[in-house]
Amino acid sequence: MSAPTTSRTNVTEREARQVAEAAREQDWRKPSFAKELFLGRFRLDLIHPHPLPDDESVRRGEEFLAKLRAFCETTVDGARIEREARIPDEVVAGLKELGALGMKIDPKYGGLGLTQLYYNKSLALVGSVSPAVGALLSAHQSIGVPQPLKMFGTQEQKDAFLPRCARTDISAFLLTEPDVGSDPARLATTAVPDGEDYVLDGVKLWTTNGVVADLLVVMARVPKSEEHKGGITAFVVEAASEGITVENRNAFMGLRGIENGVTRFHQVRVPAANRIGPEGAGLKIALTTLNTGRLSLPAMCAGSGKWCLKIAREWSAEREQWGKPVALHEAVGSKISFIAATTFALEAVLDLSSQMADEDRNDIRIEAALAKLYGSEMAWKMADELVQIRGGRGYETAESLRARGERAVPAEQMLRDLRINRIFEGSTEIMHLLIAREAVDAHLSVAGDLIDPDKSLSDKAKAGANAGVFYAKWLPKLVAGPGQLPLSYGEFKQGVDLSGHLRYVERTARKLARSTFYAMSRWQGRMETKQGFLGRIVDIGAELFAMSAACVRAELLRSRGEHGREAYQLADAFCRQARIRVEELFDRLWTNTDALDRKVVKGVLGGSYTWLEEGIVDPSGDGPWIADATPGPSARENERRPYGA
């Protein structure tokens, strides 16, 4: 019998939505290519000509990349990290010496001050030799202490903590709890004001870097009172504080060197000076931090694609079947083409999004989310195809291959390591909903009150009038555009013709917007429950964004004399592959099994199909599905292990 789960925080669906909505950035103060795309407006001018870094940023970035490459080649042993499930202390010490902990931190605080572009190139490089090391650096800088302090910290906080993060201290981000994942309204960890301090109590789960961290960003709920606004709030916490216990170092199917654990807080005193931003701003801080922080995952996904392509090329030229290299058999060749074209597109999406983040001229919240979503899904598929190309050798571990005298290619490890990216920092399903919410923001801004059951008739009437004005101007623009003119985007016709793909993107963006409007008209308030439909809408947008980025990158490389002909070929192949996927997704918008699936799910949950489960033995152990997270002192040994301690 499973033990009951205790200390759950119960909230209604509406309350949960209100908390998430309040944490969103409400305003669009800068243009967004992806937002415009979902509205049916193909703003090529926002991404073409491709934005470029300044010469000094390139010089500093390339100089660091050279040092990092040398370090990775001589000091980082990915096989050892996989074997021992630990990143050796000397590797972390070397990273500190290089300044890798402070890649994104301003030089005045001891950091390197690299751009987002070169930070991501660095993560792709180090992640190629050890994804666990890439995760360590990414969690420390993308979502750990440096980024929220950079954006929301006081000058005193920056002076106190950023020099430490740049050179000596590892940081971690603690939001998730045993019974709280993507629904932060149910957050149970509390921070009770007490004089000049807050007292933290609660349990945090999946604390990447938490086992070895020196500094923590902790999200906790401050009770509301006359003196305190309350709400979910962010704090910088010293990991060695009394009352903090790392109760478990978690182990996973991949990323075996990652230092991820369960951390309990019991009566932990945190100075009020360590609060980041005002009370109640914690979720907004977390989500804003993630807007650019999410670009670290597609960086490592793009790096993985490069590695998959290298191995596929070398192996498929060496391995022969039926008198010729397996690459020349169409069944294998199509997989290699997919890997090559998709790697080109992933790097195009990553570099474009990164450079736009550096320039800060555009709002890239949707672009970064699309990059994370698309990168994690496509990298997983590329790794899966590599395993298939390698056959039995793809399924065999690198250690086993080495032991019997063959090249130790960790293809199966790559597949395991990449799998988490579809869950990390927003699962694919959550990313679909997050992006869909942003994509329909313009509609909800003008017509949201029409479908809100709590709004009065006068509010609905006012919303109806506003919506009428908006749609009278917007809908006619979805009928025709440059995508129907044969000579549009002619500058992308350079031997290989990419102009047709951009015309397709323009036409399809309008079709996508029309489909979204029709769905909102049809389902109105029930639109948010149509998660299958919304997911397909977002996936179409992701493909269109990737097609646009691939074409723009190809033209950039051609104009600079850098493999332009080959880049055009890869962009052409990718766009043709993407167009097939887009048409399939459009078909599935209206022809699908969503309604039937809901019936089957109700039957499964209601026990109608338990007979189908007969004839097996369940090897799962006993225990609750969700661990007890009742506040209180820890009864377990502290597994915290700072590097070098």
Which of the residues are catalytic? 425
CB atoms within 10 A of CB 645: 9
Distance CA 185, CA 476 (A): 40
Give the rounded distance of the alpha carbon of 34 from its chain centre. Answer: 16
End-to-end CA distance of the chain: 42
Q: Look up tokens 């919506």; give the residue.
A: 467
* Tokens encoding 555: 């033209």
Can you say whether the dihedral through the CA atoms of 548, 554, 557, 561 is positive or negative? Answer: negative
At residue 142, what is the residue type? S
414's enclosing H/E stretch is helix 411-419
Give the residue from 168, 424, 191 showing the smallest Cα distance to 295.
424
What is the maximum span of the chain, computed from C-alpha positions, in angstroms? 81
Q: To 5 degrees, how large is the angle CA 640–CA 643–CA 645?
A: 80
Beta partners for residue 201, in sequence order: 190
Quick check: 627 and 177 in contact, CB under 8 A? no
Give the rounded distance of the alpha carbon of 170 from its chain centre. Answer: 21
Quick check: 373 and 131 in contact, CB under 8 A? no
Within 188-322, residue ranges assigned H as helices are 282-293, 296-318
Distance CA 102, CA 150 (A): 12
Quick check: 190 and 268 in contact, CB under 8 A? no
Q: How far is CA 626 from CA 5, 240, 300, in A?
A: 6, 27, 31
User: What values do phi and psi take at 262, rounded to 5?
Assistant: -115, 125
Pairing of strands 260-271, 197-208: antiparallel
User: What values do phi and psi take at 454, rounded to 5?
Assistant: -90, -5
Give the residue from 434, 416, 414, 306 showing the smallest Cα distance to 368.
434
Distance CA 112, CA 166 (A): 8
Pairing of strands 215-222, 171-174: parallel
Give the rounded distance of the alpha carbon of 15 from its chain centre. Answer: 25
Distance CA 283, CA 278 (A): 11
Contacts with 80 (C-beta within 8 Å, 6 or more apart), sequence order = 88
Distance CA 580, CA 543 (A): 10
Quick check: 606 and 578 in contact, CB under 8 A? no
Quick check: 148 and 162 in contact, CB under 8 A? no
In the three-class reduction of DSSP (H, G, I as helix; E, B as strand; rest coil), residue 29 is classed as coil
